[in-house]
Amino acid sequence: MKKERLNQNQIVKLLAMSANEAFKILEIDPSKDYDLKKAYRKASSKHHPDKGGDLETMKQVNEAYELLKKEGKVKRTIKDFKEEHMKSWDKNYTIIKDLMKKIFFPKAYLSYFKKFTDVPLTFSKKVERPYPSKMNIVYEFHTKNRDTVFYVGINISLHNVDFTHTLGGGEVNVDFDYESDNYLYHNKRKHKMKRTNWQFRSSTGDVIDPKKMFPAATLKKVFTEPKPDKEGKTKIKKFTKKDFETGLARQLGAKGEKVSLFDEYYIEVSRYKTPKKSAEWLSSDIYGKDFKSVTNFQNVFMPETANALKFLVEYVEKIRKAKDLKKATKIYKDFGEKIMKYKQFRITKARGLI
């Protein structure tokens, strides 16, 4: 008798039937979430001969389990996906971390910045991992009181990771690109620097050059005192919303509008426009737990100026050092009074009375 040859579609149908039979034997509903091993243990305890079951049925249980296992019918749980995701995350994190050691040298940046400012700088780094193949890294080179901050924000993404070299003990070769957002915070102002966007191959030995991030000509301009014109007037860069926001973030570590003081206490600093279309900043009461005010509505209205920001930084630092609510309330009240005197002085000067 001539054997019947099966085409590919027929083989697929037979395999599908076998899989369906296996699901029935193991009492699994494939349309719902299931654990194959758990279903197998349950069927084994029910049909095992030592527990009063049938030997032939037990064989079918074993065959069903092996079939679904081989065909990859094991449905992965959320935990499985999470474990795989974290393994991928950790692997790429290690690659990017090793990569940054080869292309970014903090000492080179410190040496370069020293040419423009004699004030000692401290180096700090923050890392965020939003995706397995992407990392956001913030480098800050700043003075002790953070009135001068060289900010480097790098978003680095892996595209192609070649592990073939690792089989022989070599290094991983990586295709990657990075985007950087760089600026200098100095004299209570944010000074834009050059944004960069590069594609690299790690084997080429490229480095992220501080001269490209912070051009020498731009830094010289920032750190050089402006000269007065023929009329004896000195042009000073206008103080803007961005300058105030950057000052809050860089000098006070503000997260959005929230400025932490000590323990659970904080204030909120927000911007609004007055009816005369001039901008002011509102420094709220001191808040504690559950957003409750502890200073009886001692709001402070500040003009959008470098001096107002300077006063705010000065008084927040005093409150942080005090670490006492009564002292903090008194310091904050003094701050409000100082701002009022400063505003009155500005108005009087603007009217030409002084």
- What's the pLDDT score for residue 318? 95
pLDDT higher than threshold 90 for residue 8: no
pLDDT higher than threshold 70 for residue 68: yes
Mean pLDDT of 109-134: 88
pLDDT-derived band at 183 (thresholds 50, 70, 90) equals very high
The pLDDT tens digits for 139-180 are 999 999 899 999 999 888 877 665 444 333 445 567 778 888
Cα separation, 129 vs 82, in Å, equals 15
Question: HSE-up of 211 (CA within 13 Å, CB side)?
Answer: 2
The pLDDT tens digits for 190-242 are 999 987 777 766 666 678 889 989 999 999 999 987 777 667 677 778 889 99
pLDDT higher than threshold 80 for residue 70: no
| Cα three-residue angle 303-309-313, rounded to 5 degrees | 145
pLDDT higher than threshold 50 for residue 346: yes
Mean pLDDT of 304-313: 93
Q: What percent of the chain clears pLDDT 70, i.e. is strictly above it?
A: 79
pLDDT-derived band at 18 (thresholds 50, 70, 90) equals low
Question: HSE-up of 5 (CA within 13 Å, CB side)?
Answer: 1
More confident residue, 96 or 302: 302
Place of tokens 């505003």: 343
pLDDT-derived band at 15 (thresholds 50, 70, 90) equals very low
Mean pLDDT of 23-33: 80
More confident residue, 60 or 286: 286
Quick one: CA torsion of 301, 303, 304, 308, rounded to 10 degrees?
A: -90
pLDDT higher than threshold 90 for residue 354: no
The pLDDT tens digits for 234-291 are 777 888 999 999 999 999 999 989 999 999 999 999 998 776 667 899 999 999 887 8
- What's the pLDDT score for residue 78? 52
Distances (CA, A) of 190 to 38, 64, 227, 250, 290: 60, 68, 20, 10, 34
pLDDT higher than threshold 60 for residue 74: no
pLDDT higher than threshold 70 for residue 21: yes
pLDDT higher than threshold 60 for residue 24: yes
Question: HSE-up of 325 (CA within 13 Å, CB side)?
Answer: 13
Q: Which domains does the chain have, with CATH numbers?
A: 8-70 (1.10.287.110), 104-223 (no CATH), 241-350 (no CATH)
Q: Please give the backbone phi and psi of residue 165, each rounded to the nearest 5 degrees, phi first.
A: -70, -25
> Are the C-beta atoms of residues 33 and 15 closer than 8 Å to each other?
no
Name which of 292, 289, 270 is nearest 281 in CA terms: 270
Cα separation, 19 vs 64, in Å, equals 8
Cα separation, 77 vs 190, in Å, equals 49
pTM for the structure as a whole: 0.66
Question: Encoding tokens for residue 273?
Answer: 């426009």
Name which of 209, 224, 187 is nearest 112 in CA terms: 209
Cα separation, 297 vs 284, in Å, equals 8
For the ranges 101-105, 228-232, 294-298, 317-321, which has the lowest average pLDDT?
228-232
Cα separation, 316 vs 296, in Å, equals 18
pLDDT higher than threshold 90 for residue 311: yes
The pLDDT tens digits for 106-120 are 999 999 999 999 889
- What's the pLDDT score for residue 3? 46
Average pLDDT across the chain, whole number: 81
Task: Provide long-range contacts, Cβ within 8 A and 24+ apart, for 204-210.
Answer: 205/102, 206/103, 207/102, 207/103, 207/104, 207/105, 208/103, 208/104, 208/154, 208/178, 208/180, 210/108, 210/109, 210/112, 210/113
